[in-house]
Structure 1
């Protein structure tokens, strides 16, 4: 899952490699839920524990990268400490709700629900950033929300009785991801580069999640001496969390942001495919229709923004 680039970014040169990097970043990102599900199912890790270690290790590795290759990012972090704190709060809650949604709803449904965030983002941007909201975009948002309801099962009264927490958690993950996206845009407007904004958000998110883990501190080290478990955590961070974003940013130097964002809409479908092949998860016909409506909503919102 990524913060989509703004269409003002321009590539230095159009290159076919840019399409490859954008596609690779999408495939790599789509494996995030698989890693999280594996840690929760096979190693018994709690959602909040997975969220903490992901944020903590991401901040740790990003700090190494910053110290070695991007010292200017350190100045940006200190200059925007308060902003990064708020960014971290949003990141902490998003990661918690998303990992919980994977536990309750499965990887496929959680990925699709999170992808309805552009609809929430458009609404929040209208409310808080005073961005213009065209009537046609309101229609697109309603299509996305209806699609989310179909994917989550919220259109069925019985689903609210059996999985109300799962539905609520899934929708909250989409809402907080939309806030996360807006915070990413605000970070760029403040002159923060990708390294500084990511490190700040992960660092403060890890601190917040650490405190939330205190009531059940033993679960923090539930992996104990499981080498495979710790390696899975490290792969989650170095793979989807950091490398996925790096590939995406690299693609933006070769192709327009509009095209890179368009390619990224394939992410939920790659996630569904991986979940089917590796976890034997299946979606119903209604959920597929809802998922298609969400992707259509994303494409239409992107189209109206760019053109």
Structure 2
């Protein structure tokens, strides 16, 4: 992996980690659904401009159904759930919960598509979900306004990401990644627009909140997608997925620096266990038996 690839990966992790910070800042004023509608709308406009410049606009035709499925499962619903969760839990905590997505992806691939799951990956799933229990140990209250339901919502969002990545793998073969990203953001915007209009807040929205949602749409969604798909094409999915391990680090860091969020012991321990499980469940870390070579003298 070249220095440029490493820098791209760090930038991508920093942008995706910052998305939880920007959501936490903007969601109290916008509300979860209007905030995400604006986010995906901005991203869609940005990506449409890019795809027009690259002369790939015609490739969007004939794929309405898969784009709609991806727009729903990979953007509209999970983005809204994470936005809602940041009303009650910290940006860093939400970023750590987001890191469970590869665990769900591996589990869904095994159950839905009968993909082979070696014992080491099964162990990784067990370790990862054990980490989730540790992480939630301080959020077990499910009283109205508590962090329990918010954390479960974030976990369900990660579960939807796991479905989306498997759906993409099995239905979007041969489609350019930029086309997939653009189409999914367009359909997500169209689906969310009527709900956003209905739920649009009566109060005026501050400049700070507007700047946060613009940053979400342009940097944390559109530009992040471009970085992600460039890495995917240049270094492959196995190496690109390593960005998952960096997102919680940036999410926690941005939350602590700009929102004075605390970093709890369960967050550190649970997050570390989750990432260890993810590394095993996704095959990033593996142990291969080595044959002992013998030689005659």
Scaled to the shorter chain, the TM-score interval is: 0.7 to 0.9
How many residues end up aligned between the 2 structures? 284
Q: What is the CA–CA distance in structure 1 between the aligned matches of 2:133 and 2:266, rounded to whole Å?
A: 10
Q: Output aligned runs, 1:243-258, within 5 Å.
A: 243-252=223-232, 255=235, 257-258=237-238
Separation in 2, partners of 1:101, 1:149: 17
Can you list the C-alpha shifts for 1:146-202, whole angstroms capped at 9, x where unaligned?
A: 211222337x7x52344442232122121112123223324542x111221111211
Inter-CA distance 63–273: structure 2 relative to 1 (3 Å threshold): same
Q: Does 1:173 find its partner at 2:157?
A: yes
CA contact (8 A) 1:160 1:167 kept: no
Q: Which has the larger radius of gyration?
A: 2
User: Structure 1 residues 263, 200: CA separation in 2 closer, same or farther (over 3 Å shift)?
Assistant: closer
Q: Distance in 2 between matches of 1:45 and 1:201?
A: 22
TM-superposed deviation, 1:92: 1.2
1:287 and 1:118 map into 2 onto residues whose CA distance is 18
Do structure 1's residue 48 and structure 2's residue 30 form an aligned pair? no
Match of 2:134 in 1: 150
1:65 alignment counterpart: 50
What's the Cα RMSD here? 2.4
Matched, 1:16 2:3: yes
| 8 Å CA contact 2:24, 2:87 repeated in 1 | yes
Give the CA deviation at 1:15.
2.9
Does residue 34 of structure 1 match 2:14? no
Tell me the residue number matched to 2:196. Answer: 213
| Whole-angstrom distance in 1 between the partners of 2:285 and 2:176 | 23
**Unaligned residue ranges in structure 2 (runs of 5+):** 289-297
Q: Which residue of 1 aligns with 2:293?
A: none
Report if aligned partners of 1:223, 1:229 keep a CA contact under 8 Å in 2. no
Give the TM-score normalised by structure 1.
0.83
Partner of 1:300: 280
Q: How many angstroms apart in 2 are the aligned matches of 1:229 and 1:285?
A: 30
Report what 1:7 is aligned to: none
Contact 2:97 2:151 in 1 (8 A): no
Measure the CA separation in 1 of the matches of 2:209 and 2:88. Answer: 21
